[in-house]
Structure 1
Amino acid sequence: MNPVQTSRAAVAQSAGQSVGHGIGPIDAGATATARTRARFGILALLAGGTMINYLDRSVAGIAAPAMSHDLGLTPALMGVIFSAFSWTYTASQIPGGLLLDRVGTRWTYFFALTLWSFFTGLQGLATGFVSLLVMRLLIGAAEAPCFPTNSRVVAIWFPQSERARATGVYTFAEYVGLAFLSPLLFWLEQRYGWRALFGMVGAVGVAFGVVWLMRFHEPHESKRANRAELDHIASGGGVVDGSQQATRFRWSDVGALLRHRSMFGICIGQFACNSTNVFFLTWFPTYLVTERHMPWLKVGIVAVLPFIAASVGTLSGGWISDAMLRRGVSLNWARKLPVIAGLLMAATIALANYVDSIAAVIAILCVAYFAQGMSALAWGIVSDIAPKGLLGLSGGIFNLFANAAGIVTPLVIGLIVNATGSFVYALAFISAVTLMGALSYLFVVGDIRRIVLANADSSLS
């Protein structure tokens, strides 16, 4: 028992309580104690890290018109640059999940955050296609553990009844940062140039890495969470006693997970969900400039609106799901329905091809990105179905499929625009993929329940 647990035990014993490792029975005296809210401080850290994650991966989209002009990059080559991030990001998902299961949350996230931010800054030194490509590859590899870590933190710090909302909050940060910082980023690029923009964004991430290292703790190590909060978390399936153990990796576990229809189905759904997201993170500013002939600074203002819509969508999906669960709706439908509705609504993005009004185009794109935000709730489903001991690996596999879209979508859009000079078929492609994702949730994903693998480790990570 560590000093924090010893101190809690002494206080509890003096009050005549029965104390375990944060999961023992609660008597009347314990329930009368107001719960602390340390888990929400941890959630704020996740939100901050996730916001920086998306700023660092998407700032190339803001810099793209000026950068491609200065470096002589065609739309097809820019498609490769946008896609390159996801080559290594996708390839590193399973290794990143294994690193998380073995090294732990605090140090894995610290090294990932500081490295991807450092490489983001180095993009400003690019002299051509090759050097820029190398930096994008390094950023992708460094960012790989981020979302498996987010999922793991939610699983250990939050009871099941709060996990969808917690997932919604840190996912909200993906979009709200881009929404409210985009005008500033466009202005900085216009004022100081795209090279300085990369350097400033990278420096912010490195500084936040130090904040993470100083402030993040596991529940059993926290000096801010009291006994009542730990029992509340534990009663909903959170792991507050530090009992999660490293799990020996077996390739057979990867195959066994993907043979479960629930895991395979949500992976297909996430590929579809992320296709819409990738469009907005990469090609969206270029679409407004080239297809809709919008002035650059106006793009910086208008681009805020879809990201605001997406941020509202992420919160809405989580709140709706948890509200359904509290009202007695099964876990299966409380988790799946918001995702299905989001994917179906996101398919409306193709309607932008049939309107001329800029206001109508932006309205359609806002609806599509709001819906994509709702479907981001799927990360909470990973926490619900991952086998004991394999949450890091499960998150890695799930994110591998999600970011296969990050490889395919920018390349396909780049090739379409290069061949046709238009985004019409690009938007149609995104719409078709999101419909495929909705069908996967309807007909492939079965009941949402924890997967049990034969001969799997019994510890929860």
Structure 2
Amino acid sequence: MSAAGTTSRQLGDPTPADRATRSRAWTVTGLLVVFMMINFADKSVLGLAADEIRADLGLSATQFGFANSAFFLLFSVAAVVVGMYADRVRPSTVILIMALLWSVAQVPPAIGGGLAVLIGSRVMLGAAEGPAFPVAQHAAFSWFPDHRRNLPGALVTLGITLGVITAAPGLTWIIDHHHWRTALWVLAAVGLVWAVVWHLLGGTGTYRTTDAAPRDAAGTGPSEAAGEPVSYRRVFATRTWLAVTAAYFTCYWGVALMLVWLPSYLRNGLGYSSAEAGRLVVLPWAMGAVVLLAQAGVTGWLMRRGVSTRWARGGVGGAALGLGALACLGVPLVDGTGAKTALLAIGFGLAGSYAAVAATTVSELAPPARASGALGVMNAVVTTAGLAAPAVVGVMVDSQGAAGYQNAVVITGVLLLVGALLSATLVDPSRDRALLRA
């Protein structure tokens, strides 16, 4: 070997194999971003077509709210079961199966039928999509050591935002010009195409979820070598897991409200046209995208400077939730649709960024053999907000009229404020990880 070659290797230059692995890691991350985009396009389509579906099927706001809540009926159960199952098999296989099921679930209501068919389809879609976020995060993290996971974790979460931003205008146009059932056919086709690409290019990396180094030949990481895996009960009993789950619940309440009722609020509460609402509904998601990337940058910057993840994750995430809460609580205090729309975008956008904080925090906390299950159970608890929020808001709209939308935003602000306090005061993954290893 030449002196130059020796010097290059001593300086830590990546080998061709290292470069290929890094390239594959980012390819898989990119595919997982698109995976989450499709996931949330599937979720958002009924909200975008709310008025058309209610008119077509003769539904009250309460009935429509319960139809959307049905999506979450098996969502949480599937998140737990599949999340724990993903600890034993390759998450890439689980992801492929989920994507195929999403497309199949869109077909019955696309063909025809009434409320019963719509509810059955949403139950099936929810069961197939329930594990998507934790398994996608788990798959992405398998390609990166812990200190490099903030960006890929944020990007996968960003797929949620991008899914609505890119889908809302296009799906609204399809709904307005070609019927809401046609939009379901389009989503089914997109899901099938993605599944084919994932089958060809996707995969699982060699890092365990909380390891700083790849798995050894036996498939175990350094944290498992010392003894038996920590029980799920101990992980779930930590203050960090309890607090981050509760804070994420308040975030998801806002996400569910955005998905199902924000387009209707913009149209029926603030007086925008269907086309205007289709464009404006992307504002909080766009705000969320900016906040997500900023949060990842700030968190990574703090961690590189030795700041504990109590502040880099729990503190930063809590600050975002707190600012989002203040914006939501300010909606009834301002006049004019423009001011209210701006506060909605800021409030929901800031709140939605907590998903990435929650995922990276639990991944840091949980031992490798319990990581996917801990993420899955967290997601299951959190998404019960999606089961409750659409139905609660539907009842409020039927009983209070347009004022019900605004009152729902105020309730969301109160919940976010509670989540902010819990995140800022109780989340400390490094402390609780040390207690689990003791």
2:10 to 21, 28, 35: 28
Contact 1:338-1:374 within 8 A present in 2 as well: no
- Corresponding position of 2:147: 161
Contact 1:67-1:194 within 8 A present in 2 as well: yes
Letter in 2 for 1:352: V
Partner SS for 1:96: helix
- Corresponding position of 1:117: 103
1:127 to 113, 118, 137: 113
User: Which 10-residue stretch deviates more, 440-449 or 125-134?
Assistant: 440-449
- Corresponding position of 1:429: 411
- Corresponding position of 2:158: 172
**Is 1:407 the counterpart of 2:387 in the alignment?**
yes
Letter in 2 for 1:343: L
C-alpha distance in structure 1 between counterparts of 2:257 and 2:78, whole Å:
22
C-alpha distance 443-337 of structure 1, shift in aligned 2 (>3 A): closer
C-alpha displacement of 1:204: 0.2
TM-score normalized by the length of structure 2: 0.89
C-alpha displacement of 1:235: 11
Deviations 1:295-329 (A, max 9, x none): 11111122222221111111111111111111221
C-alpha distance in structure 1 between counterparts of 2:337 and 2:389, whole Å:
24
CA RMSD of aligned residues (A): 2.9
Q: How does 1:379-418 map to 2 (within 5 A)?
A: 379-418=359-398
Partner SS for 1:209: helix
C-alpha displacement of 1:195: 0.5
C-alpha distance in structure 2 between counterparts of 1:119 and 1:161, whole Å:
38
C-alpha distance 50-450 of structure 1, shift in aligned 2 (>3 A): farther
Letter in 1 for 2:421: L
C-alpha distance in structure 1 between counterparts of 2:217 and 2:420, whole Å:
37
Contact 1:115-1:142 within 8 A present in 2 as well: yes
Q: How does 1:86-125 map to 2 (within 5 A)?
A: 86-125=72-111
Partner SS for 1:165: helix
User: Which 10-residue stretch deviates more, 41-50 or 298-307?
Assistant: 298-307
C-alpha displacement of 1:400: 1.0
1:239 to 207, 214, 220: 214
C-alpha distance in structure 2 between counterparts of 1:304 and 1:130, whole Å:
30
Contact 2:310-2:427 within 8 A present in 1 as well: no
**Is 1:318 the counterpart of 2:318 in the alignment?**
no
Contact 1:346-1:369 within 8 A present in 2 as well: yes
Partner SS for 2:13: helix
Q: How does 1:146-295 map to 2 (within 5 A)?
A: 146-219=132-205, 237-239=212-214, 241=216, 243-244=218-219, 253-295=231-273
Number of corresponding residues: 421
TM-score normalized by the length of structure 1: 0.84
C-alpha displacement of 1:49: 0.5
Partner SS for 1:157: coil
C-alpha distance in structure 2 between counterparts of 1:416 and 1:155, whole Å:
41
Partner SS for 1:335: helix
- Corresponding position of 1:338: 316
C-alpha distance in structure 2 between counterparts of 1:234 and 1:294, whole Å:
45
Partner SS for 2:271: coil
- Corresponding position of 1:358: 337
Contact 1:386-1:450 within 8 A present in 2 as well: no
C-alpha distance 445-453 of structure 1, shift in aligned 2 (>3 A): closer
Contact 1:343-1:437 within 8 A present in 2 as well: yes
Deviations 1:403-459 (A, max 9, x none): 011111112111111211122321111111111111221333344356479899xxx
C-alpha distance in structure 2 between counterparts of 1:444 and 1:174, whole Å:
27
Contact 2:79-2:131 within 8 A present in 1 as well: yes
Structure 2 runs not aligned, ≥5 long: 225-229
C-alpha displacement of 1:155: 2.7
C-alpha displacement of 1:354: 2.7
C-alpha displacement of 1:157: 0.9
- Corresponding position of 2:280: 302
Letter in 2 for 1:416: M
Partner SS for 2:81: helix
Q: How does 1:363-378 map to 2 (within 5 A)?
A: 363-376=342-355, 377-378=357-358
Deviations 1:185-213 (A, max 9, x none): 11111111000011101210111011111
Letter in 1 for 2:31: L
2:421 to 439, 449, 455: 439
Letter in 2 for 1:171: T
C-alpha distance 453-209 of structure 1, shift in aligned 2 (>3 A): farther
C-alpha displacement of 1:151: 2.3
User: Which 10-residue stretch deviates more, 381-390 or 351-360?
Assistant: 351-360
Partner SS for 1:101: coil
C-alpha displacement of 1:74: 0.6
Structure 1 runs not aligned, ≥5 long: 1-10, 17-25, 221-229, 457-461
C-alpha distance in structure 1 between counterparts of 2:84 and 2:344, whole Å:
37
Partner SS for 1:390: helix
User: Which 10-residue stretch deviates more, 176-185 or 389-398?
Assistant: 176-185
C-alpha distance in structure 2 between counterparts of 1:234 and 1:430, whole Å:
32
C-alpha distance in structure 1 between counterparts of 2:171 and 2:209, whole Å:
42
Contact 2:135-2:372 within 8 A present in 1 as well: yes
